[in-house]
Chain A
Amino acid sequence: MYALLEQAEVAPWVLHMPKGMDLTDDQFFEFCVLNPELLRIERTAEGEILIMSPTGARGSHQNSQITMQLALWAERDGTGVAFDSNGGFTLPNNAMRSPDAAWVARHRLISFTEEETEKFLPLCPDFVVELRSRSDRLADQKQKKDGRVHQQRSASRLADRAL
């Protein structure tokens, strides 16, 4: 578990799913419920499961500022509902994402049953906020580095071919 979190601090841990073994939305929800110690789970459109580390204290505090202001506005405005960073949404492309803050117009929510609203909502929010964190930056730097290594390898392969 510690090793996993250490890894996740750098970049999301990606679980690749074999072809034909993609989880249904309900199975994926159950997977998340059965693994509460994996605090932040998302799913890509391709069915890969991403496991991310919890946010650091500063990022969490900054996020609470955003959530608070959005929730206060939504309460006053009344035309929709605000969500915090724990909310999961199943997008039309089948990805499941948890934006840091989100808002959905009320008319889009009335058709859902109480049971459905206890799971990840099968819609894309009207408004999303993402707050970049230290681990996002580390992940980007790693991706850039990996990209560079990949480019260098491609370049050396081209060079080999040219010889």
Chain B
Amino acid sequence: MEEYISNGALLGWLIEPFERQVFVYRPGQPTQQVERPASIDAGPELPRFVLDLTKIWEPEI
């Protein structure tokens, strides 16, 4: 994920389904670790995009 950020990405999410964690990457900022979020907001880079993680944490299969 660091590679995307250092090559110009504005926002990166690393989703870890086994631990139910999301690592949030932004240029010039330390990585933010979010524990068991029900959803995650991509703003302000992607305004009003909120990813619902319910089916990621509890997939049907």
Contacts and interface: CB of A to CB of B under 8 A. Distances in A.
Interface of A: 45, 57-58, 61-62, 65-66, 69-70, 73, 77, 91-93, 95, 97, 99, 103, 123-132, 137
B15 A130 contact: yes
Contacts, number: 86
A58 B59 contact: yes
A91 B52 CA distance: 29
5 contacts: A61-B61, A62-B17, A77-B48, A126-B8, A130-B14
A28 B60 CA distance: 37
Interface residues of B, number: 29
A130 B1 contact: yes
B3 A126 contact: no
B18 to A, nearest CB: 7
B15 A132 contact: yes
Interface in B45-61: 45-49, 51-52, 55-56, 59-61
- The 7 closest A-B CB pairs, nearest first, are A124-B7, A124-B8, A91-B7, A73-B49, A128-B4, A132-B16, A129-B13
A94 to B, nearest CB: 10
Contacts of A103: 46
A73 B45 CA distance: 13
Interface in B32-56: 42, 45-49, 51-52, 55-56
B17 A132 contact: yes
Nearest to B14: A130
A61 B4 CA distance: 24
B55 A65 contact: yes
Nearest to B15: A131
Contacts of A58: 59, 61
Given A45-B3, A70-B51, A93-B3, A127 B59 contact: no
Given A65-B56, A73-B46, A131-B17, A125 B61 contact: no
